[in-house]
Structure 1
Amino acid sequence: MSSFPLVSFLVTLLLAAAVCTHGQELVTDTNGNIVRLNDQYFIQPVNTGNNGGGIVPLASKISLCLLGITQALPDEPGVRVSFSFPQTLIPPIPFTPVLTNVDITIEFKSNICKEFSKFWEVDASALVSEEPAIQINGNPRRRNSRFKIEKVGKEGRTNIYRFTTSDGTVGAVPGALESTQLVLTNDVAKTIFVKFIKFNAVTTDVASTSRVEKLGLRMIL
């Protein structure tokens, strides 16, 4: 046996022990498989009435590359993300399971707008706002780029989750052109619930630039 699979096995074993000790759970995708660091997933809201549209970046400010985060058009899977642990904890090890109630970072997998990072963050410039936007250009070393995944229930056999931070819960509010803007909120009624779809379980990212542009949206593909 090579050392790499052995290390991955030991990390999984240690995390499983942590689950038993601290009451955390393994995060799973829509196929019931464990969500793992560095694998790629679509995040699909389940309670916005947008008929399955996944999560995407959306130009919400003067700079088209300083992007907020919103829900895609109906039936489009969105833009892929990967999860990792903040750099101050442990280095990312492939095949490491993602646990509930543990700090993680979320990163869109895209090469567009290279001058900005694709890590999610809470808009620090708007923390005085009641509901600051969730946007890209985060930094894994900063507190406002750290999120937790919490299990909230099931939809059939699929686990349903929400994202939280130490300052509130990720929710959804109406955005431009009937989009759904992600914000940090303490309003339980605005909480957005999601499920995770493994990238290889579908065929493409957002399917058609033209469909998006017809609505005047600037989305990353």
Structure 2
Amino acid sequence: MKKPSVTSLLITLLLSAAICAHGTTNSNGDPVKVGEKYFMQPVKTENNNGGGLVPAPTNILPFCPLGITQTLLPYQPGLPVTFRYTENIDRDYITTNTPINIEFRSDIWPVCNEFSKLWAVDDSSSAIIIGGKEKSPKSEFKIQNVTVEEHTYKLTTSYGTVGTIPGAWGGAPQLLVTNDESKTLVVKFVKVDDDATKSKATTTTTTSLVEKLGLWMFPFY
């Protein structure tokens, strides 16, 4: 029996990769671009208010590194994130099922500045926290399609799927890795300069600086 050639095997592998990986889209159906800012917003359901994701403490002590929590304020879009590939991939848009780093991007960051803003999995608690490293497996995430709504996704890691549990601060949903499908976090990506996002943000324009810090960084404020 004739053995398949190396070329045939490579073509098969490339076709398999093409089938598994698709372009990720934002809430408007446009490609999610490498390095551009997006709000990662949980899908609004009967049991979820749709508030955005923000850094917040997971413990009273130690206070740092911060975890990631969904804000209890439904009109808050959260804190922007950017995506980039963990490997050198010549592509300006993000595909599903491909390892990426996720990083918060904000000029307002009053605490825990000694930690990076990269997302990571905490070994001891399974929580998603800040302070990751670019080449660490703990900071590798993949975006995968879900069929809850159009342009919706979940995040997976080598440790499990990203989900939520009620957190310590007013029960605000806290991100962690889990194998419980009922806890899976379903999100959409909203480009930061979308008009709809800007209109939501105007609800806090008259607040003081201290109030803004609380609203953006701490969902229990």
TM exceeding 0.5: yes
Name which of 188, 191, 194 aligns with 1:198.
191
1:14-63: CA deviations, max 9, x gaps? xxx87973431100001110001000000111156332201111112324
Show the counterpart of 2:3.
none
CA contact (8 A) 2:54 2:218 kept: no
Q: Is this contact kept in 2: 1:79–1:206, CA < 8 A? A: no
What does residue 56 of structure 1 align with?
54
Is 1:189 aligned to residue 182 of structure 2?
A: yes
Question: Does the 8 Å CA contact 1:120/1:134 hold for their aligned counterparts?
Answer: yes
Identical residues among aligned pairs (%) = 41
Task: Report the Cα offset of residue 210 of structure 1.
Answer: 2.8
Indicate if the aligned counterparts of 2:20 and 2:97 stay in contact, CA closer than 8 A: no
**Per-residue deviation, 1:110:** 2.3
User: Is the CA contact 2:55–2:69 (under 8 Å) kept in the aligned structure 1?
Assistant: yes
Opposite residue 127 of structure 2, the aligned amino acid is A
CA distance in 2, matches of 1:138, 1:178: 25
Aligned residue for 1:200, secondary structure, equals coil
Q: Shift in Å at residue 205 of structure 1?
A: 9.3
Q: 1:106 aligns with which of 102, 106, 116?
A: 102
CA RMSD, Structure 1 to Structure 2 (Å): 2.6
C-alpha distance in structure 1 between counterparts of 2:114 and 2:183, whole Å: 32
Equivalence for 1:118: 117
**Paired residue type of 1:149:** I
Q: Distance in 2 between matches of 1:98 and 1:19?
A: 18
- 1:143 is the counterpart of 2:137: yes
Asked if 2 retains the 8 angstrom alpha-carbon contact of 1:45 and 1:193, the reply is yes
Query: Using a 3 Å threshold, how does the CA distance of structure 1 residues 53 and 212 change in structure 2: closer, same or farther?
Result: farther
Match of 1:24 in 2: 21
AA aligned to 1:58 is A
Unpaired stretches in structure 2, ≥5 consecutive residues: 1-13
Q: Deviations over 1:83-132 (max 9, x none)?
A: 0111xx117x7x701000000010000242421100000003x1xx5xx1
Provide the TM-score with structure 1 as the length reference: 0.77
SS at match of 2:146: strand
Question: Separation in 2 of the partners of 1:80 and 1:19?
Answer: 33
Give the C-alpha shift of residue 140 in structure 1: 1.1
What SS does the corresponding residue of 1:25 show, helix, strand or coil? Answer: coil
